[in-house]
DNA sequence: GGTGTTTATCGTCAGCCAGACGACTATGAT
DNA sequence: ATCATAGTCGTCTGGCTGACGATAAACACC
């Protein structure tokens, strides 16, 4: 590492951006906020903000999440909170010199997976934050409706991360309420992958994987039909063998 | 995103650090450089340096790689160079406020996978850069021989990324010369995972996966024994089903 | 020229697992 | 009572993996 020469290496602004995903009404949705000021004023963007001088990156992401959505992050160091709060992980860092027209900004994107929640709040302005199906931002090549900055790319990367990660980890349970049924978990996979899964094979797979699901003893009929067993997420985090995403 | 208030959000220095991995003499090795100045003067560290004012993150990583090792990066936009040059991808970003005692530094770590090469050069001082087996830095809990800053953690994350990525991608070929045999590829897997693999099952798996290997028609006896067919990396990047890492 | 060593490659067999799908169960709606 | 809905248990088959035997083609050595 070379000596620090401020004239040769001007300082950068560092931000965190959040890809907050949830499953609502059978579809994978992302949280976006409407920008109140230039650049991209009035356009939708990912929530995010500047990292404070003495703040860790993950802490900054967690703080922005609370500020913009009221969501709590699940702390891995506090296992008693398992099932409550959202999953947060670092996604990647975006530092194209032109990505922000105002100045050189390096943004550390984070991925948040949350269960379905009541409408988000954003600084009291309910109209400035909303959930939208991810296809809204992924499908179109045109400018219409696309996100500010390079946020469409960040969102696409976050969605792909989520899609691949539920294959080989138990992370899909982060989209569920603390207690959930096999069917609810299956609908999570179906929404995230955008495919239909065989209920019988799915049931066999998830109940047969040790440590994935822990029965709570209760049952529910909230989905209609025959009552279903309730489960909690088990301790296993890695699925081996993985859940296979069906071929296209 | 909030307005930029320089007093509330002091600027950060942004660096890139490189986890450069190769396979030499049956073991997974990482490139380290000896620090010539404080802090951690005389200690080994990952190669890296400051990102320039108008430089993309990946470009900064590629530049540092050339400067410190002479290695060329394989450009995905130039497929004719396939097989030559190293693979580079972003690994993760490390921004603990205390990670550098001098100032607030956010480091974007990158992972580089390279074929075995002649001894590295580092600014003309051959003694200040070297390959060491990754266990040198991963095994010990004590201070003795450990890397500067949080580089031991970054290296550990890079090694884990490499270990998991060769499971489901054809990235192991990045450790090989442009033309290689099935046995050479198997020894890459064995070195990266630190396990022994059955040569017959491995051969069946890699030659049976469409797009993984393309025979060049030539053969070689450079490993001794019966001549082996030479292959080039095929177009496939994702292996489905993956190579399974043996259980412990 | 044999003989042993090394590495590559082909085959066989059993077990596990996933996809396809039939059958039955337990609830609420009509 | 009947139907629709959703959950759960089984069966069968094909593909893939791990274990391992057998053969092939080079080299080293005597």
Span A49-101, pLDDT tens digits: 999 999 999 999 999 999 888 888 876 655 444 446 799 999 999 999 999 99
Q: How confident is the model at residue B37 (pLDDT cuts 50, 70, 90)?
A: confident
Closest Cα of chain B to A211: distance in Å? 17
Tell me how many residue pairs between chain A and chain B have CB atoms under 8 A apart.
104
How many other C-beta atoms can be found within 10 angstroms of the C-beta atom of residue A18?
Answer: 27
Nucleotide C13 C1' to residue A170 CA (A): 34
Are β-strands B27-34 and B129-133 bridged in parallel, bridged antiparallel, or unpaired? antiparallel
pLDDT band, very low/low/confident/very high, at B229 (cuts 50, 70, 90): very high
Q: If you search the block for the tokens 């603390």, which residue do you land on?
A: A178
Topology of A169-233 in CATH? Answer: Arc Repressor Mutant, subunit A (1.10.10)
In chain B, residues under CATH classification 1.10.10.10 are: 169-233
Whether the pLDDT of residue B160 is over 90: the answer is yes
For B20-77, the DSSP string reads EEEEETTEEEEEEEE--SSSSTTSEE--EEEPPTT--HHHHHHHHHHHHH-PPBPPTT
How far: A229 CA to C20 C1' (Å)?
25
φ/ψ of residue A199, rounded to 5 = -60, -35
CATH 3.90.79.10 residue ranges for chain B = 13-167
Which helix (H) or strand (E) segment is A91 a member of?
Answer: strand A87-94
Residues above pLDDT 70, as percent of chain B:
85
Query: Which one-letter DSSP state was computed for residue B143?
Result: S
Q: Is the CB of B41 under 7 A from strand C?
A: no
Cα dihedral B120/B121/B122/B126 (nearest 10): 100
Task: From the options 3.90.79.10, 3.40.50.720, 3.30.1330.10, 3.40.50.1400, give the CATH code of A13-167.
Answer: 3.90.79.10
Q: Tell me the pLDDT tens digit for each residue of A201-225.
A: 999 999 999 999 999 999 999 888 9
Q: A-chain residues within 8 Å CB-CB of B56?
A: 95-97
| Percent share of chain A, pLDDT over 70 | 85
Give the pLDDT confidence score for residue A59 in this predicted structure. 97
Q: What tokens were used for A81?
A: 């909170």
Note the pLDDT tens digit of each residue in A118-142: 666 655 555 688 999 999 999 766 5
Calculate the CA A216 to chain-centre distance: 26
Distance in angstroms: CA B204, C1' C12: 14
The first and second tokens of residue B79, run together, are 């497929």
Using DSSP's 3-state secondary structure scheme, residue B220 falls into strand
Computed over every residue of chain A, the mean pLDDT equals 89
Whether pLDDT at B167 is above 80: yes
Cα distance between residue B129 and residue B34, in whole Å: 6
For residue A198, give the 3-state DSSP assignment.
coil
Q: Express each pLDDT in B124-141 by its tens digit.
A: 555 688 999 999 999 766
Strand C nucleotides where any atom sits below 7 Å of a protein CB: 5-12, 17-23, 25-28
Q: How far is B219 from chain A (nearest CA, A)?
A: 35
A67 CB-near residues (< 8 Å, 6+ apart): A49, A123
Residue B214: what pLDDT?
97
Please give the Cα distance from A16 to A107 (Å, whole number).
5
List all residues 6 or more positions away from B144 whose beta carbon is below 8 Å from its beta carbon.
none
Q: And the tokens for A181?
A: 């049924």
pLDDT band at A194 (very low <50, low <70, confident <90, very high): very high
* Range in A219-233, B24-38, B134-148 the model is least confident about: B134-148
- Say what the pLDDT of residue B243 is: 95
How far is Cα A178 from Cα A164, in angstroms, rounded to an integer? 22
pLDDT at A3 over 80: no
In whole angstroms, give the CA distance from residue B139 to residue B153.
12
If one compares A16 and B117, the residue with the highest pLDDT of the two is: A16
Residues of chain B with Cβ-Cβ distance to A2 below 8 Å are 49-50
Task: Identify the pLDDT of residue A37.
Answer: 86
* Best B95, B109, B147 residue to mutate vs chain A (most A CBs within 10 Å): B95
Of B236, B228, B232, the closest CA to residue B215 belongs to: B232
Q: Are A29 and A119 in contact (CB under 8 A)?
A: no
> How many residues are listed for chain B in this entry?
248
Distance CA A111, CA A70 (A): 16
Only one residue has tokens 């609908």, namely: A187
Contacts 24+ apart (CB under 8 A), A97-104: A97/B53, A97/B54, A97/B55, A97/B56, A99/A149, A99/A150, A100/A39, A100/A149, A101/A39, A102/A39, A102/B4, A103/A13, A103/B4, A104/A10, A104/A12, A104/A13, A104/B53, A104/B54
- Is residue B12 a contact partner of residue A57, using CB atoms and an 8 Å limit? no
- A176-185, B64-73, B201-210: range with lowest mean pLDDT: B64-73
């Amino acid at each position: 590492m070379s000596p620090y020469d401020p004239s040769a290496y001007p300082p950068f602004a560092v931000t965190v951006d959040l890809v907050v995903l949830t499953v609502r009404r059978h579809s994978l949705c992302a949280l976006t906020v409407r920008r109140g000021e230039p650049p991209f004023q009035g356009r939708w963007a990912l929530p995010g903000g500047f990292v404070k001088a003495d703040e860790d990156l993950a802490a900054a992401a967690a703080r922005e999440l609370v500020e913009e959505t009221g969501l709590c992050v699940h702390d891995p160091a506090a296992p008693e909170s398992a099932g409550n709060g959202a999953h947060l992980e670092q996604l990647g860092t975006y530092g194209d010199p032109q990505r922000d027209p105002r100045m050189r900004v390096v943004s550390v994107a984070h991925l948040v997976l949350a269960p379905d929640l009541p409408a988000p709040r954003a600084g009291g302005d309910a109209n400035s934050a909303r959930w939208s199906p991810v296809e809204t931002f992924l499908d179109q090549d045109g400018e219409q409706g696309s996100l500010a900055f390079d946020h469409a790319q960040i969102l696409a990367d976050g969605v792909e991360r989520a899609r691949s990660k539920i294959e080989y980890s138990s992370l899909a349970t982060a989209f569920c309420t603390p207690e959930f049924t096999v069917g609810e978990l299956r609908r999570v996979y179906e929404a995230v992958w955008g495919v239909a899964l065989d209920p019988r094979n799915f049931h066999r797979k998830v109940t047969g994987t040790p440590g994935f699901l822990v029965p709570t003893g209760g049952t529910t009929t909230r989905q209609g039909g025959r009552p279903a067993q309730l489960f909690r997420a088990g301790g296993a985090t890695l699925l081996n063998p993985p859940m296979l995403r069906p071929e296209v």
